[in-house]
Amino acid sequence: MKQLICFLLLFFVPEMRSFDLVIEEIPDELFNLEVDGFLSKPVTRHGRYQRSTLNDEDSGESVEGDDKISIYSYKVRSTITSRLVNTMIQSKVENKAKHSQNLVFDVQIPKGAFIHNFTMNINGITFTSSIRERSAARQQYAQARAKGKAAGIVRSSALDTENFKAELNVPGGMKVQFEIHYQEAIRRKLGSYEYIIPLQPGRLAKHLEVDVRIIEPQGLRYVHVPNSLGDHFAGITTISKGEKKAHVSFKPTVAQQRKCPTCSATAVDGNFVVMYDVQREPKAGELEIFNGYFIHYFAPENLDPLPKNILFVIDVSGSMWGLKMKQTVEAMKTILGDLRPEDQFSIVDFNHNVRSWRDDLVAATPSQTEDAKKYIQEIHPTGGTNINEALLRAIFILKEASNLKMLDPNSVSMIVLVSDGDPTVGELKLTTIQKNVKQNIPEDVSLFSLGIGFDVDYDFLERLAHENHGMAQRIFGSQETSSQMKKFYNQVSTPLLKKVEINYPQGSVSDVTQNSFHNYFGGSEIVVAGKVDSNNVQHLQSLITATAANAEIVLETLADVEGLDEFLKKEEHADPKFTEKLWAYLTINQLMAERNLAPTAALKRNITRSILQMSLDHHIVTPFTAMLIENPEGDERMLADSPKDQKRGCCSGTLSVAPNNLDKSIPSWAKPTPTSERLLSARQAPTMSAIKQHINTVDNDPHFIIYLQKSQENICFNIDSEPGDILNLVSDPESGVLVNGQLIGAKKREDKKLATYFGKIGFYFKHKGLKVEISTETITLKDGSYSTGLSWSDTGSIIRKRLLVSVKKDSSVTITVDTEISFLVLLHRVWKNHPVNVDFLGIYIPPTNWFSSSAHGLIGQFMSEPEVRIYNERPGRDPKKPEATMEVKGHKLTVTSGLQKDYRTDQVFGTNVHCWFVHNSGKGFIDGHYKDYIVPHLYRFLRNP
C-alpha cells in the first residue's frame, strides 16, 4: 500500500495560520491506473471511481527539472464582486521520474480569508470536500481510518496569513491536480482597494496564468497593477477596463518565467497586486441591495484629518538587539518626521524598567521631533520585558493630559505598542495585563499593537488591541521591518472622524453585523452588512444618517435596486450571492472577535454555536468545523480539521520536492527509515548507518547505545537503578544545557528483576531560562512563571526564544534549539491493563549536537570520544553472542556482542542494532560509578563530574 503524506513545516520562518493536510493512506485502486495524460480512465476493481475532467495541457518548451517533476499548469482565477473576492488556485503536476517523490503544494492565504473548498485529482480520481461539524467529521474520519481507508488531518494557528500545505508521495509516472478555493473581503486602505495574490509556483510552469475579473456596480474609477514581481515582467500584464467591470490577465511564457535565458529556475516569486478604486459621488456611502441582503460601504472623503495625541510604547529589551532594533529606529525616525504640527506625542520605552522621553505630551514641532529621534537613536536594547507597567505609564500620561485640559476636544488619542516578546518582568499573566489595561484606559483612546519577530504572542497583542478599539499587525523581523512598520502606521495615523453611529430606518433591516464604529481612520472604509425586510426595501433606501462626535453626515443611499439586479444577472463573472457571502464573512469574523472577548463561559458557548451554524450554512472552514474530503462513493475519506490555535508556520514556494519524511519539524537524523527485516542475527544486524544516522540512544530498560565515531562501534550498557531515581544524561554548564531522566518501574518483577524505564525527561536551557518537561501524559514548556503545553493527543508546536517543541500525536516530541541542538523523545504506549509493562519514554541525541568540551553525564561525556580498542573476539556462553576484550580509559573489559533496539524506524517492534555490551551498569566505560549520575531533582546540573 502506498503512502500519501502531507505536513506542516514548523521552523524558524514567518508565522502563519497553517492548514496541514496529512493523508495516511490511499487505496490500492489509485495505483492501478493507465497513465497516458491527465484525462486518464481509472482501472477499478469494484467500479467505484468515476472519470475525471483533468485535461492534459501541452506547450512546446520543456519545464521538466532535474528531479523529473513538471508543472503542466498553474492557474489563479479570481472574481471580485463588490469587494468580495472568490479565488481559485489550481496546480497540475506530473512526476516523470521512475521512482516516487514527495510533491509539496503550498499556498498562502490572507488572514481572515475562509477556505470553502479543496479538491485533489489523483490520476483521474477526484476527491471533493464538504463542511461538517468538527466532532461529526472526526468520527467519520476515525471510522474510515479504522477500516484502513484514506484519512488525514489539517491544523491551524491564528497568525498573519494562512498556509495551506499538502505533501503527496507520488509514484513515478503519476499525475496530480490540486485545487483550492477561498474567499475574502478586501478593505480600502490609503484611498484604494488592494488585492494581493501570493504567486509562488516554485518552478517553471508550461502554462502559468493569473486571471482577475472585477465587477463593481458602483463603477470603477481606475485599475492599476504595480510591477510588484519586478522589472523582469514589465509589459506582460494586460488590463481591460469598462465602466463597471475590468479584466486583468498575466500569462508569462516559459521563456519569460526564466530568471535568465539559460536558467531552469523561475523568476515568478512574490506578490501579484491589483489596486483599484470605485467611483464616489459627493456622499459618504453606497448602499447595495441584492437577493435579500444589503451591503453598505461608508467612506467619507474630503474631510480634514483630526489632530492626534499619540504615545509610542517601544520594547527595548535584550531580544530587540540587532536588526530588529535598527529597523525599529529607522521606522520611528520616519514616523516622527511625518507628525503634523497640530499633533502631540511622547515616547515610552521599556525593558525591565520603564522610561519616558517626556513625562507629558509635547507638540510635534520640528525641534521636538528631532530631539525624539536622537533619543530613539541612542537606545541600546538590554534586559527583560515589562509590558504591563509600560502600557499603564502611557495611559497615565494621556489621562493626565486630558485632566489638565491639554487635549483638543476634536482630537483623537492613541497608543502604539511595539514589542517582540512576551512579558518576562513585572506582571506576567496575560489576562491580568489585559484586565489592567481595560480598566485604566479611557473609552476614547485606541490601542494599536505591532508584534515583531517570531517569539511574540501575537494572539495576546491582537486581543489587547481589539479590546481597546484598535488593531494589531504582525511585523516580521527582517530587512523589511522598517517599511512594514511605516505602512501600518500610515493606515492608522490620519483619523478623520471620532466615534461613528450609522442609523438605519427602524424596521428595515435585521442581523446587522455592526452599527457603531470607534475612531474612523483616513483612507479606510466601514462596511456594514445585514438582511433586508422585503417589505421595507424602499424604506431602507430613504435617508440614512451617520453621526460622529465631530460631524454629522447625511448618507444619500438612493441605490437603483432593480438596475443592480439586472446588471448582476447579465454579468457572467459576477457572484450572484455576493451580498449573502459578504454578510456571512463579516458576521463570522465579528463573532470570532466577540468570542475572544466574551466575559463569561456561557456567552462564549452561545457565540460558538452561532459561528458553527453559520459555518455549516455557508460552507466555511472555521475552528469549529472540519472539511471532509471524499471520493465520489464516500468510502475513501480525508479530514481537513482546524483545532486549537498553535504557533508557527512555514514557507513559500507552491510546488517543491521534499525528502520522503513525515514532518520537517523533525530533524533529518530523527526521521524513520523503512527496514526490510525486524529480526537479524548479531552478525547480520544493521549498524546505525543502515537505520539512518549514527545516534546516541537511551530507550527501554533503560538501555544506552553510545556511538563512537573514531572506532565506528556502538557500545551499549544498562543502568540498574531504582524507580524514582533521576539520572543525568547531559550536563553542560558552559552551554547551559541539561538533560535528566526520572525512572519509573514496571508493575511487577520478572525473573527477580524489576525493569525500570524513563517516565519523565527534563530539559533545561539555562541561558534562555527555559525548561521543557516531557512525561508520558503531557509536554510542558516553562519560562519563569509562564507555562504552556500540549498533550500526547495533540499534533502541534510551541516556540519560544528560538526553541521549538514539535509534538507528533501519540508518537514523538522533537526539541530544536537555535538550529544547533536537537533531541528526539519517543513515547511507548502499552495496553492499559498490561500485567507488567508501563508507558515509558526513549530519548535520542545526535552526536552532532553542539556541546562544550566540559559536557558530561551518562551521554554527554561521550561527546569527547574516548579511545577504544576491541580485540580477541571469541565464542561466548551463548553461541549467538560472541565475547571480546575492550580497552578503554585504562580498563580491560569483557564485552558481549548483542542486539539492542532503535525505535525510530518502528515504535512497536524496534530495529535491531548491533553493539558491544558492557556489563555491571557500564562500569569501566563510564566515568566513575553509575550512582555518581543520580541527581536530586529534574533540573539539577551534575556536580563535579
Q: What is the CATH number of domain 308-493?
A: 3.40.50.410
77-93 tens-digit pLDDT: 999 988 889 999 999 88
Task: State residue 331 phi and psi, 5-degree precision.
Answer: -65, -45
CA dist., res. 277 & res. 297, Å (int)? 13
In this model, does residue 887 exceed pLDDT 70? Answer: yes
CA dist., res. 91 & res. 104, Å (int)? 11
726-745 tens-digit pLDDT: 999 999 998 899 999 999 99
69-278 and 308-493 share one fold: no
Query: What rounded mean pLDDT belongs to the chain?
Result: 76
355-365 tens-digit pLDDT: 999 989 999 99
128-163 tens-digit pLDDT: 777 777 777 667 766 665 655 544 444 333 333 466
pLDDT band of residue 844 (cuts 50, 70, 90) is very high
Residue 143: which H helix or E strand, with range?
A: helix 134-146
Q: What are the grid coordinates assigned to 56, written together?
A: 492534459
Answer yes or no: CATH 3.10.450 is held by domain 69-278. Answer: no
In this model, does residue 56 exceed pLDDT 60? Answer: no
For the chain, the structural domain boundaries read 69-278, 308-493, 703-933
Contact 822, 837 (CB under 8 A): no
Question: What confidence score (pLDDT) does residue 294 get?
Answer: 75
In this model, does residue 178 exceed pLDDT 90? Answer: no
Q: What percentage of residues in the chain have a pLDDT greater than 70?
A: 72
Question: What confidence score (pLDDT) does residue 547 get?
Answer: 62
Question: What confidence score (pLDDT) does residue 151 get?
Answer: 46
Question: What confidence score (pLDDT) does residue 674 get?
Answer: 39
CA dist., res. 454 & res. 803, Å (int)? 11
In this model, does residue 57 exceed pLDDT 60? Answer: no
CA dist., res. 669 & res. 658, Å (int)? 15
Question: What confidence score (pLDDT) does residue 121 get?
Answer: 81
Question: What confidence score (pLDDT) does residue 537 get?
Answer: 55
Contact 779, 807 (CB under 8 A): yes
In this model, does residue 247 exceed pLDDT 80? Answer: yes
Question: How many degrees, rounded to 5, is the angle at CA 664 between CA 660 and CA 665?
Answer: 150
What three-state secondary structure class fits 580?
helix
- List, in sequence order, every residue forming a beta bridge with 317; answer none if it has no partner: none
Question: What confidence score (pLDDT) does residue 100 get?
Answer: 76
Question: How many degrees, rounded to 5, is the angle at CA 403 between CA 397 and CA 408?
Answer: 90
In this model, does residue 798 exceed pLDDT 90? Answer: no
Contact 93, 78 (CB under 8 A): no
**Residue 439: partners with Cβ closer than 8 Å, 6 or more residues away:** none
Q: What is the mean pLDDT of residues 640-654?
A: 41
Sheet holding 655-658, edge to edge: 17-21, 161-170, 101-110, 655-658
pLDDT band of residue 261 (cuts 50, 70, 90) is confident
Question: What confidence score (pLDDT) does residue 30 get?
Answer: 37
Q: What are the grid coordinates assigned to 388, written together?
A: 504591563
Q: What is the mean pLDDT of residues 771-784?
A: 91
Instruction: Name the E strands within 64-113.
Output: 69-81, 84-95, 101-110
Between 917 and 796, name the one with better pLDDT: 917
Contacts 24+ apart (CB under 8 A), 567-574: 567/217, 567/244, 568/81, 568/215, 568/217, 568/290, 571/215, 571/245, 573/79, 573/213, 573/215, 573/245, 574/79, 574/81, 574/215
691-723 tens-digit pLDDT: 345 678 898 887 899 988 888 889 999 988 889
Q: What are the grid coordinates assigned to 400, written together?
A: 493626565
**Residue 66: partners with Cβ closer than 8 Å, 6 or more residues away:** 264
Q: Of 241-250, 458-467, 585-594, 839-848, which has the strongest mean pLDDT?
A: 241-250
**Residue 181: partners with Cβ closer than 8 Å, 6 or more residues away:** 86, 87, 88, 115, 116, 117, 118
